[in-house]
Chains A and B, each alone.
Chain A
Amino acid sequence: MCAVRYWRAAEPKTTYEVVIVGGGGHGLATAYSLAKRHGITDVCVVEKGWLAGGNMARNTTIIRSNYLWEESAAIYEHSLKLWEGLEEELGVDVEFSPRGVLNLAHDLGEVRSSMRRVHANRLNGVDAEWLTPEDVAAFCPLINISPSLRYPVLGATLQRRGGTARHDKVAWAYATRASELGVDIVEHAEVTGFLRGPGGRVEGVSTSRGEIRGAKVALAAAGHTSELAAMVGLRLPLQSHPLQALVSALYEPILDCVVMSNKVHVYVSQADKGELVMGAGIDAYNGYAQRGSFHVIEEQLAAAVELFAIFAHAKLLRTWGGIVDVCPDASPIVGWSGIDGLFLNCGWGTGGFKATPAAGWAYAETIATGEPSELVRPFSLERFTTGALIDEHGAAAVAH
Chain B
Amino acid sequence: MTARRLPDGGSWIDRSRPLTFRFDGEEYEGFEGDTLASALLANDVTGGFRSPILGRPRGIMTAGPEEPNAFVEVSQPWFDPIVAATMVELVDGLVAEPRAGVGRLPSTRVPSRRAEHRHISVETLVVGGGLSGRTAASAAASRGDRVVLVDERHRMNDAPDDVIGLPRTTALGIYDDGYVIALESTPELERLWHVRADHVVLATGATERPIAFAGNDRPGVMLSTAAAVYRRHFGVKVDEAPALITTNDVGLVARAMVMDGGPEEGPVINFQIDPISDELPTDGSLLVSGGFNPNLTLWRAIGGTVEYHRRFACFVPGKGPPWLKVAGMANGEHIPDCAPVWYVDGERTTAFVDLQRDQTVADIADALDAGLTSVEHVKRATYIGTAIDQGRTSGVLTAAIVNQMLGTGPDAQGPTSARPPAVPVPYTTIAGPDRGDLLDPIRRTRIHPWHEEHSAVFEDVGQWKRPRYFPRTGEDMDAAVARECLAVRSAAGVLDASTLGKIEVIGPDAAAFLDRMYTNRMSTLAVGSIRYGFMLGLDGMVADDGVAMRLADDRFFVTTTTGNAAMVLDRFEEWLQTEWPELHVYCTSVTEQWADVAIAGPKARDVLGALGTDLDLSPGAFPFMTFRDGAVAGIAARVARVSFTGELSYEILVDGRRALELWEALLRAGNAIGITPYGTEAMHALRAEKGFVIVGQDTDGTVTPDDLGMGWIVRKDDSDFIGRRSLRRADTSRSDRKQLVGLLSDHLLPEGAQLVEEDTGRTPMATIGHVTSSYRSPSLDRPIALAMVARGRQRHGQTILAPLPGSTIAADVVSPVFYDPEGARHDG
By a beta-carbon cutoff of 8 Å, the part of chain A in contact with chain B is 2, 4-9, 50-51, 53, 57, 70, 73-74, 106-109, 112-120, 122-125, 150-151, 168, 172, 187, 248-252, 254, 264, 273-274, 289, 291, 293-294, 297-299, 301-306, 310-320, 328-329, 383, 385-389, 391, 393-394
- Taking a contact as CB atoms under 8 Å apart, the answer to whether B439 and A107 are in contact is no
With contact pairs A115-B750, A116-B752, A298-B434 given, residues A122 and B763 touching in the complex (Cβ less than 8 Å): yes
Given contacts A313-B80, A315-B82, A391-B541, 18 further A-B contacts (CB under 8 A): A8-B371, A9-B373, A50-B374, A51-B374, A57-B380, A115-B750, A125-B764, A249-B82, A249-B388, A252-B102, A291-B176, A313-B79, A314-B81, A315-B427, A316-B430, A318-B390, A387-B726, A387-B732
Residue B235 interfacial (CB < 8 Å): no
Check A2–B435 contact: CB distance below 8 A. no
The CA of A125 and the CA of B371, in the complex, are separated in Å by 42
* Chain B residues, Cβ within 8 Å of A264: 439
Enumerate chain B residues within 8 angstroms of A328, measured Cβ to Cβ: 538-539
Question: Can you name the residue of chain B whose Cβ is closest to the Cβ of A176?
Answer: B371
Partner-contacting stretch, out of B19-27, B104-112, B222-230: B104-112
Closest to A69 in B: B702
Chain A residues, CB < 8 A from B80: 313
Which residues between 359 and 389 of chain B lie within 8 Å of chain A, taking CB atoms? Answer: 366, 369-374, 376-377, 380-381, 383, 386-388
Q: Which of B34-42, B334-342, B417-425, B789-797 contacts A (4 or more CB under 8 A)?
A: B417-425
Q: Closest Cβ of chain A: how far from B184's Cβ, in Å?
A: 16
B437 pairs with A150, CB closer than 8 A: yes
List of B residues within 8 angstroms of A116 by Cβ: 751-752, 754, 770
Residue in A closest to B540 when the chains form the complex, CB atoms: A387
Cβ contact within 8 Å between A125 and B763: yes
Q: B701 at interface (Cβ–Cβ under 8 A)?
A: yes
Residue of A nearest to B802 (CB): A119
B427 contacts A301, C-beta separation under 8 Å:
yes
Instruction: Give Cα A314–Cα B426 distance, bound, in whole angstroms.
Output: 6
Contact partner, A187, options B374, B437, B540, Cβ 8 Å: B374
- The answer for the CA separation of A106 and B463 in the assembled complex, in Å, is 12
- Asked if B751 contacts A115 (CB within 8 A), the reply is yes
In the complex, the 10 A-B pairs of residues with the closest C-beta atoms, listed nearest first: A116-B752, A387-B729, A125-B763, A387-B731, A115-B752, A315-B424, A302-B431, A6-B371, A302-B434, A50-B374
Do A70 and B181 contact each other (CB < 8 Å), given the known contacts A251-B103, A316-B427? no
Docked complex Cα distance between A187 and B425 (Å) = 36
Q: Which of B82, B439, B726, B751 has the most CB of A within 10 A?
A: B439
Cross-chain contact B112 with A312 (CB below 8 angstroms): yes
Is the CB–CB distance between A291 and B110 below 8 Å? no
Q: How far is the CB of A391 from chain B (nearest CB, A)?
A: 5
Could you tell me the distance between the alpha carbons of A314 and B80 in the complex, rounded to whole angstroms? 9
Complex Cα gap A150–B460 (Å): 9
Binary A-proximity of B311-337 (CB < 8 A = 1, otherwise 0): 000000000000000000000000000
A133 to chain B minimum Cβ distance, whole angstroms, is 15
* CB proximity of B174 to chain A, nearest CB, Å: 10
Q: Which of B104, B386, B431 has the most CB of A within 10 A?
A: B431
* Contact among A8, A119, A291, A294 with B750 in the assembled complex (CB-CB below 8 Å): A119
Is there a chain A Cβ closer than 8 Å to B7's Cβ? no
Q: Is the CB of B81 within 8 A of A112?
A: no
How long is the Cα–Cα vector from A172 to B381 in the complex, in angstroms?
10
Q: Is B805 an interface residue (CB 8 A)?
A: yes
Pick 14 A–B contacts, CB within 8 A, sort by A: A53-B376, A108-B459, A108-B460, A114-B752, A115-B752, A151-B440, A151-B460, A252-B103, A293-B175, A294-B194, A303-B439, A306-B439, A315-B81, A385-B730
B105 interface neighbour in A106, A313, A385, Cβ under 8 Å: A313
Which residues between 173 and 228 of chain B lie within 8 Å of chain A, taking CB atoms?
A: 173, 175-176, 179, 181, 194
Residues of chain B within 8 A of A123, CB atoms compared: 754, 756, 763-765, 767, 803
Check B697 for interface membership: any CB of A closer than 8 A.
yes
Q: Does B700 contact A (CB under 8 A)?
A: yes
Which residues of B are found within 8 Å of A293, using beta-carbon distances?
A: 175
Q: A112 and B103 in contact (CB under 8 A), knowing A122-B763, A302-B439, A305-B431? A: no
Q: Is the Cβ of A391 less than 8 Å from the Cβ of B700?
A: yes
Nearest CB of chain B from residue A380's CB, rounded to whole Å: 12
| Interface residue B753 (Cβ < 8 Å from any Cβ of A) | yes
Q: Nearest Cβ in chain A — how far from B779, in angstroms? A: 22
Is B372 in contact with A6, judged by CB distance below 8 angstroms? Answer: yes
Which has the most chain B C-beta neighbours within 10 Å: A109, A264, A387?
A: A387
| Complexed CA–CA distance, A118 and B751 (Å) | 11
- State A5–B730 Cα separation when bound (angstroms): 52
CA distance A109 to B695 in the complex (A): 11
| B407: chain A residues within 8 A (beta carbon) | none
Residue among B103, B387, B388, B437 with the most chain A CB within 10 A? B103
Tell whether B18 is near chain A: CB-to-CB under 8 Å: no
Which residues on the A side are within 8 Å of B803 (C-beta)? 123
> Which residue of A5, A106, A118, A252 is within 8 Å of B370 (Cβ)?
A5
Chain B, residue nearest A109 (CB): B696
Question: Is B303 at the interface (CB under 8 A from chain A)?
Answer: yes
B770: nearest chain-A partner, CB-CB: A116
Q: Give the contacting residue for B432; candidates A120, A252, A298; CB below 8 A.
A: A298
In the complex, how many angstroms separate the beta carbon of A87 from the nearest chain B beta carbon? 18
B799 interface hit (Cβ, 8 Å)? no
Which B residues are CB-close (under 8 A) to A305? 427-428, 431, 435
Given A302-B439, A318-B390, check contact A394 B370 (CB 8 Å).
no
Q: Is B474 an interface residue (CB 8 A)?
A: no
Tell me the chain B residues, 375-421 only, with Cβ under 8 Å from chain A. 376-377, 380-381, 383, 386-388, 390, 417, 419-421
What are the residues of chain B within 8 A of A294 when measuring CB–CB? 173, 175, 179, 181, 194
For the complex, give the distance between the alpha carbons of A385 and B81 in Å.
Answer: 55
- Chain A residues closer than 8 Å to B764, beta-carbon distance: 70, 73-74, 123-125
CB A107 to nearest CB in B, in angstroms, measures 5
List the A residue with the shortest CB-CB distance to B701. Answer: A391
Say yes or no for B101: interface residue by CB 8 A criterion. yes
A89 to chain B minimum Cβ distance, whole angstroms, is 21
Task: Find out whether the CB atom of B770 lies under 8 angstroms from the CB atom of A313.
Answer: no
Q: Chain B residues with Cβ under 8 A from A289's Cβ?
A: 303
Distance in angstroms from B9 CB to nearest chain A CB is 34
B residues in contact with A51, CB < 8 Å: 374, 377
Contact residues in A for B767 (Cβ distance below 8 Å): 70, 120, 123
A7: B residues at CB distance < 8 A:
371
Q: Across the interface, do A386 and B729 meet the contact criterion of CB distance under 8 Å?
A: yes
Given the complex of chains A and B, what is the CA–CA distance between A183 and B52 in angstroms? 40
* Cβ 8 A contact of B112, one of A151, A301, A313, A393: A313
Task: Check if B665 is an interface residue, CB within 8 A of chain A.
Answer: no
Q: How far, in angstroms, from A119 to B81 measured CA to CA in the complex?
A: 43
B697–A109 CB distance below 8 A: yes
Contact (Cβ within 8 A) B434 A119: no
